[in-house]
Amino acid sequence: MARTPIGLVRAEPEPPFEITFDGRRLTALPGQSLAAALWGAGILAWRTTRDRGRPRGAFCGIGQCYDCLATVNGVPNRRACLVPARPGDAVTTQEGHGHDRLGV
């Protein structure tokens, strides 16, 4: 008999839902962070550095390093490892600091 964590706790998870990343449709699970949903879809980077445009994604996974910054629903500088995925979320790659008007 195969046992799974869900079966052991008799969990009844809600169905998956859709989010988008740079216009690409992805499936997320209830309770996942945006970073977990992106990782689950094989996406490892969703930000570029300000100076050289190097790719960044989740590093620490607990909201301390700020490498996982993303633009979520038009709002820049959201820590994807801390933001829970919600149905219909639109995540886009954040370039640099995320604030065009700063001109830095």
Give the pLDDT confidence score for residue 102 in this predicted structure.
Answer: 45
pLDDT confidence band for 1 (50 / 70 / 90): low
Question: What is d(CA 19, CA 88) in angstroms, rounded to the nearest whole number?
Answer: 5
Q: How far apart are CA 30 and CA 15, in angstroms?
A: 7
- What domains can you pick out in the chain, each with its CATH number? 32-96 (3.10.20.440)
Q: How far apart are CA 100 and CA 94, in angstroms?
A: 11
Torsion of CA 61, 64, 68, 70, to 10 degrees: 130
**Per-residue model confidence (pLDDT) at position 26:** 97
Q: Which pLDDT tens digit goes with each residue over 51-82?
A: 888 888 888 888 888 888 999 999 999 999 99
What's the length of the chain? 104
**For residue 68, which of 85, 86, 51, 49 has the smallest C-alpha distance?**
49
Q: 0.85 exceeded by the pTM? A: no
Confidence band (pLDDT; 50, 70, 90) for 11? low
